[in-house]
């Protein structure tokens, strides 16, 4: 029986069957995998031209054979084969050899056998998939796309007739040459279709007026990076994806349009993926810019699958993890002060400090120092477990390898997994709110292949994050400041919920933006595939505009439902964001994750004893009970207060103790900002090769107090108002002690690792 073993092209289709892209077969032919069916118009045109009795003969038409024999004898050479479509299939399977009578006999025998084993429908499919259509084009599908730029199922009658006559003599007649001869053959076939009553007179008239196609044109390449990926994974196969062709075209257009702006700053690459939340299906896959001028700048790299430094794009998962564990509440104050670890000193993007900031605002503003402090509280190993459970596979090292820098880009992720994780989180939230239950199967990577089914997925695995923690995180992310181009978005009645976050890696190498609505997740990356950093390459400036343009095209008007039945209302201190304690002055009812009921009670409110003027603090050691006024006071530690009060003019610092009344040691008046106890400091050299100095700093509740500094019991200077001092410290262990004018003392041990004596 005839068998076709020729290599096939790799074909990638959208969800509706639209051709996204294809790659030529290994033998250089455009030969698509066999179609599911043969188009009606082509079938009618083919049989009218080649084999009127196809459905009636057993594979061979004796009348046609006798007629061909007479013509060949009369001409003295083979000019007609009298072949049926079935015989032509047999001939094509044999490699389309020269016509000889012995060969014809083999074709007849093969055709008879083929008719016994295959249905007429299957034989037509074999012919349609393997017939030559001129040049390097084989099969009806490849021919339709190359000659007419459309699917064979969308061909007009004129197009179907053109392709029906081409296999008869493909090397002699095709749209690139002998156009008059081709047109005559086509029009004769159209007339035959009209005479048979297959088409009406109007269709016939319009069809003969339709121009012939030009020479074969390139096939569509709407998602070249996706096609290249599937060429590697599903070589020589037809893959039907979940891609929405309209959205795919729009996303690629947005990427290219934005790239024209980015390349002015020598930023040459960007990518975007859109995922449907409820199914996880990939709707758009723009792996990189496709502008010709960026081709030489790694334009062929599929950024969606390339590991890149995460920057701060993972902060929302830490926030959610801490909510779920009950370590913090949505607006718990997190210290935002200079923070130092051995070999690591995180800084906020704008190099400033707020003293203390609500956790939700720290997330919305993407502050680095609070994030690192939260991770230290949550513990690196716990966060790493959370990332892996959520769906990130690129974190292959132990937690100690990444350390606290994990939250600021110390690890790598891919755009593919980033979109998958956010889609999983949104899917968990939406399922819980609609069905009141969890399903572990909701956590999975994006689904690209339309026919792909997820089987044997356990539904009893660990759920990384609860619906309530996800919802609280999304509420915080909805407050993220949008780019200037999005000014006034909140006044649009059609604007639904968009929880979004940006990220920028160290050295301005990677710009991220990811956003989720109840229905879609959009993930964007911008930068240089080579890893070259550029000034201004930030998530907000480079990636976010792409995200919002795609989001506006999707026209979101949905809101995230709240999983109130797994949350609880708690009394929360309005100023600190902690659970309200007995000394809190102002409380508010707030929805929290239920484990938050075990979180710490507000540590920043206390009862303060004042004299009757309320200008000074006092105690029973200094005044009688009748002379003491008590008041609830919001008191931050000195280092937090030092920065906090500049951003919060309403903050009231504690009054000083009354003259002659000793300060309460439980209420520290000053705190070392730098160095911190136990720190190991590396002292580099300056441009002249001399060791630089350590700049020590102290926060004092009463900055007007004079502080006297001593290094290793040696007086080094005094400060007032701004308590900073330079210290020249040789290598080794040191003790820094500071004493204020009232005799209050603090000290700090630190080590210098490298210094010239």
Beta carbons of 99 and 91 less than 8 angstroms apart = no
In tens, the pLDDT along 694-732 reads 899 999 998 999 999 999 999 999 999 999 999 988 889
Examine the fold and report which residue of 554, 587, 622 is the final residue of a domain before the chain moves on. 554
Taking only Cα atoms into account, the Rg of the chain, rounded to an integer number of angstroms, comes to 37
3-state class (DSSP) for residue 222: coil
Confidence (pLDDT) at 496: 79
In tens, the pLDDT along 313-348 reads 999 999 999 999 999 999 999 999 999 887 788 999
In a domain, 61, yes or no: yes
> Do both 541 and 609 map to the same domain?
no
Q: What percent of the chain has pLDDT over 70?
A: 90
> Do both 543 and 580 map to the same domain?
no
The long-range contacts involving 625-634, CB below 8 angstroms and separated by at least 24 positions, are 631/607, 632/583, 632/584, 632/585, 632/605, 632/606, 632/607, 632/608, 633/605, 633/606, 633/607, 633/608, 634/575, 634/576, 634/585, 634/604, 634/605
DSSP string, 605-655: EEEEEE-TTSSSB--TTTS-GGG-EEEEEE---HHHHHHHHHH-TT--PPP
Q: Report whether pLDDT(520) > 80.
A: yes
- Residue 428 has which token pair? 């968990």
- Give this prediction's pTM: 0.88
In a domain, 584, yes or no: yes
In a domain, 203, yes or no: yes
Q: How far apart are the first and last CA of the chain?
A: 92
Q: Report whether pLDDT(757) > 50.
A: no
Under the banding of pLDDT at 50, 70 and 90, the label for residue 488 is: very low
In tens, the pLDDT along 345-378 reads 899 999 999 999 999 999 999 999 999 999 999 9
> Do both 656 and 674 map to the same domain?
no
> Do both 609 and 721 map to the same domain?
no
Domain of residue 617 covers 604-667
Q: DSSP character for 729?
A: -
d(CA 486, CA 488): 6
Q: Report whether pLDDT(493) > 50.
A: no
Candidate from 85-94, 254-263, 611-620 with smallest mean pLDDT: 85-94
> Do both 63 and 171 map to the same domain?
yes
Confidence (pLDDT) at 316: 98
Beta carbons of 467 and 428 less than 8 angstroms apart = yes
Examine the fold and report which residue of 667, 701, 719 is the final residue of a domain before the chain moves on. 667
For range 108-119, the mean pLDDT: 84
Q: What is the 3-state secondary structure of 438-461?
A: CCHHHCCCCECECCCCCCCCCCCC
> Do both 542 and 660 map to the same domain?
no
3-state class (DSSP) for residue 38: coil
In a domain, 415, yes or no: yes
> Do both 610 and 740 map to the same domain?
no
In tens, the pLDDT along 186-204 reads 999 999 999 999 999 999 9
Under the banding of pLDDT at 50, 70 and 90, the label for residue 623 is: confident
For range 63-77, the mean pLDDT: 57
Report the chain's mean pLDDT, rounded to a whole number: 89
The CATH number of whichever domain residue 176 belongs to comes to 1.10.3810.10
Examine the fold and report which residue of 667, 687, 713 is the final residue of a domain before the chain moves on. 667
In a domain, 35, yes or no: yes
In a domain, 578, yes or no: yes
Candidate from 128-142, 318-332, 481-495, 591-605 with smallest mean pLDDT: 481-495
Q: Report whether pLDDT(514) > 90.
A: yes
In tens, the pLDDT along 264-289 reads 999 999 999 999 999 999 999 999 99
In a domain, 712, yes or no: yes
Chain centre distance of CA 610: 56
Total structural domains within the chain: 5
More confident residue, 90 or 233: 233
More confident residue, 172 or 37: 37
More confident residue, 35 or 329: 329
> Do both 586 and 691 map to the same domain?
no
Under the banding of pLDDT at 50, 70 and 90, the label for residue 490 is: very low
The CATH number of whichever domain residue 528 belongs to comes to 3.40.710.10
- Among 355, 350, 313, 314, CA closest to 334: 355
Confidence (pLDDT) at 487: 47
- Among 137, 752, 293, 262, CA closest to 536: 262
For range 18-46, the mean pLDDT: 94
Q: Report whether pLDDT(491) > 50.
A: no
Q: Report whether pLDDT(293) > 70.
A: yes
> Do both 20 and 44 map to the same domain?
yes
In tens, the pLDDT along 565-588 reads 999 999 999 999 999 999 999 999
Q: Report whether pLDDT(525) > 60.
A: yes
> Do both 466 and 329 map to the same domain?
yes
Q: Report whether pLDDT(651) > 60.
A: yes
More confident residue, 388 or 459: 388
Confidence (pLDDT) at 630: 93
> Do both 650 and 545 map to the same domain?
no
Q: Report whether pLDDT(434) > 90.
A: yes
Confidence (pLDDT) at 230: 95
In a domain, 268, yes or no: no
Q: Report whether pLDDT(542) > 80.
A: yes
Q: Report whether pLDDT(3) > 80.
A: no
Q: Report whether pLDDT(79) > 50.
A: no
> Do both 609 and 581 map to the same domain?
no
3-state class (DSSP) for residue 672: strand
Confidence (pLDDT) at 69: 54
Confidence (pLDDT) at 494: 46
């Amino acid at each position: 029986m005839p068998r076709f073993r020729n290599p096939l092209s790799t074909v990638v289709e959208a969800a509706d069957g639209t051709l996204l892209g294809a790659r030529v077969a290994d033998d250089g032919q455009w030969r698509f995998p066999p179609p599911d069916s043969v188009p009606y118009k082509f079938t009618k045109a083919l049989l009218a031209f080649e084999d009127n009795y196809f459905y009636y003969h057993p594979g061979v038409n004796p009348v046609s054979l006798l007629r061909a024999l007479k013509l060949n004898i009369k001409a003295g050479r083979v000019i007609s084969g009298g072949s049926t479509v079935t015989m032509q299939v047999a001939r094509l399977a044999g490699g389309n050899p020269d016509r000889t009578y012995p060969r014809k006999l083999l074709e007849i025998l093969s055709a008879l056998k083929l008719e016994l084993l295959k249905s007429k429908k299957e034989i037509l499919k074999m012919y349609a998939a393997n017939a030559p259509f001129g040049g390097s084009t084989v099969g009806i599908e490849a021919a339709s796309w190359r000659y007419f730029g459309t699917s064979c199922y969308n061909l007009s009658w004129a197009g179907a007739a053109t392709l029906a006559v081409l296999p008869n003599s493909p090397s002699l007649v095709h749209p690139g040459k002998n156009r008059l001869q081709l047109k005559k053959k086509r029009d004769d076939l159209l007339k035959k279709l009209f005479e048979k009553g297959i088409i009406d007179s109007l269709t016939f008239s319009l069809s003969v007026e339709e121009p012939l196609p030009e020479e074969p044109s390139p096939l569509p390449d709407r998602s070249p990076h996706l096609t290249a990926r599937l060429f590697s994974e599903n070589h020589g196969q037809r893959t039907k994806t979940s891609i929405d062709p309209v959205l795919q075209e729009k996303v690629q257009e947005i990427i290219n349009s934005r790239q024209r702006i980015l390349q002015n700053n020598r930023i040459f690459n960007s990518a975007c993926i859109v995922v449907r939340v409820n199914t996880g299906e990939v709707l758009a896959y723009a792996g990189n810019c496709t502008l010709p001028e960026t081709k030489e700048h790694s334009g062929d790299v599929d950024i969606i699958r390339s590991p890149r430094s995460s920057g701060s794009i993972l902060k929302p998962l830490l926030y959610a993890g801490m909510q779920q564990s009950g370590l913090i509440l949505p607006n718990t104050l997190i210290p935002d002060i200079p923070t130092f670890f051995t070999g690591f000193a995180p800084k906020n993007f704008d190099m400033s400090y707020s003293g203390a900031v609500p956790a939700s605002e720290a997330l919305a503003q993407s502050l680095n120092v609070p994030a690192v402090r939260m991770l230290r509280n949550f513990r690196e190993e716990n966060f790493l477990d959370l990332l892996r459970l959520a769906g990130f596979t690129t974190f292959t090292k132990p937690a100690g390898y990444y350390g606290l820098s994990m939250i600021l880009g110390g690890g790598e992720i891919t755009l593919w997994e980033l979109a998958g994780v956010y889609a999983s989180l949104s899917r968990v939230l939406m399922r819980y709110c609609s069905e009141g239950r969890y399903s572990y199967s909701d956590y999975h990577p994006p689904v690209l292949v339309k026919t792909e089914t997820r089987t044997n997925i356990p539904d009893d695995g660990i759920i990384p994050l609860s619906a309530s923690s996800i919802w609280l995180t999304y509420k915080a992310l909805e407050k993220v400041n949008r780019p200037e181009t999005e000014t006034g978005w909140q006044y649009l009645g059609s604007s639904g919920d968009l929880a979004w976050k940006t990220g920028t890696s160290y050295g301005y190498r990677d710009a991220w933006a990811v956003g989720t609505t109840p229905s879609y997740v959009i993930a964007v990356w911008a930068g240089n595939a080579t890893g070259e950093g550029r000034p201004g390459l930030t998530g907000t400036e480079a990636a976010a505009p792409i995200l919002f343009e795609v989001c506006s095209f999707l026209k979101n008007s949905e809101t995230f439902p709240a999983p109130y039945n797994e949350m609880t209302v708690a009394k929360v201190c309005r100023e600190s964001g902690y659970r309200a304690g007995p000394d809190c002055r102002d409380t508010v009812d707030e929805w929290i994750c239920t484990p938050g009921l075990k979180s710490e009670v507000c540590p920043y409110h206390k009862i303060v004893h004042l004299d009757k003027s309320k200008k000074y603090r006092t105690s029973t050691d200094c005044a009688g009970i009748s002379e003491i006024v008590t008041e609830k006071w919001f008191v931050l530690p000195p280092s937090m207060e030092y920065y906090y009060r500049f951003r919060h003019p309403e903050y009231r610092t504690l009054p000083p103790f009354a003259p002659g009344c000793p300060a309460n040691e439980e209420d520290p008046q000053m705190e070392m900002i730098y160095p911190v106890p136990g720190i190991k400091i590396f002292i580099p050299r300056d441009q002249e090769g001399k060791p630089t100095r350590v700049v020590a700093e102290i926060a004092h509740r009463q900055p007007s107090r004079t502080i006297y500094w001593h290094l290793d019991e040696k007086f080094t200077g005094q400060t007032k108002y701004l308590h900073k001092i330079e210290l020249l410290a040789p290598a080794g262990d040191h003790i820094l002690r500071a004493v204020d004018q009232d005799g209050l003392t603090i000290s700090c041990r630190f080590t210098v690792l490298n210094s010239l004596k």
